[in-house]
């Protein structure tokens, strides 16, 4: 029985390490925070030294967080146990853990669809009288269906984590309650 107790003592306690860099040395000595977006409160802090900062701690459940330094440097990321690297010059580009890799792919896909929409609208801007009509038509027929399909795909692939819930919340902006009930029932099956 004593051997079982020793084996459990040697198991590492899950923890997170979040590392980031700031290219602007004027922030040295300043405190940076991890802000829990769901609870609306700071949950960790670190001091910037030599343009770098590191947070360490433990968390039971992954949460969507924001870290911001000044107005220019910020990133949204999933705080979960593991080693997370923040690129403060590129918003929403955290890496190193499974949910952050998934969240980054979500953000990239969202950006790709939005850029397609914006490029299509720019091409149509020569005729100002038709821009509004073309924008609505393209939005309804191209952008919205592509974006909703992307959200549904992320919901299907992430039913057991925060990314699925995040995508479901965004999808609710495009659907009525009855349609949402159907999506929830499908993802629960």
pLDDT tens string 9-62: 567 788 999 999 999 999 999 999 999 998 999 999 999 999 999 999 999 999
pLDDT of 3 reads 47
- For residue 178, the model assigns a pLDDT of 85
84-111 residues labelled b (16+ CB within 10 A) or e (exposed): bbbbbeebbbbebbebbebbbebeebbe
**What span, in angstroms and rounded, lies between the C-alpha atoms of 24 and 3?**
52
Q: Over the Cα atoms of the chain, what is R_g?
A: 21
User: What pLDDT score does 79 carry?
Assistant: 96
Read off the pLDDT of residues 72-125 as tens digits, 9 standing for 90 and up: 899 999 999 999 999 898 888 899 999 999 999 999 999 998 888 888 777 766
């Amino acid at each position: 029985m004593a051997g079982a107790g020793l084996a459990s003592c040697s198991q590492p306690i899950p923890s997170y390490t979040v590392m980031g860099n700031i290219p602007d040395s004027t922030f040295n000595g300043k405190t940076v925070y991890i802000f829990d977006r769901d609870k609306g409160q700071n949950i960790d802090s670190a001091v910037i030294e030599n343009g770098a900062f590191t947070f360490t701690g433990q968390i039971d459940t992954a949460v969507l967080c924001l870290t911001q330094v000044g107005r220019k440097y910020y990133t949204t990321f999933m705080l979960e146990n593991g080693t997370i690297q923040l690129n403060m010059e590129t918003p929403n580009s955290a890496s190193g853990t499974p949910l952050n890799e998934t969240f980054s792919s979500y953000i990239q896909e969202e950006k790709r669809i939005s850029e397609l929409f914006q490029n299509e609208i720019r091409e149509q801007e020569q005729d100002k009288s038709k821009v509004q009509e073309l924008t609505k038509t393209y939005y309804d027929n191209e952008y919205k269906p592509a974006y909703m399909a992307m959200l549904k795909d992320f919901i299907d692939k992430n039913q057991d984590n925060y990314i699925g819930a995040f995508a479901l919340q965004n999808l609710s902006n495009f659907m009525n309650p009855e349609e949402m009930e159907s999506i929830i029932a499908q993802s629960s099956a």
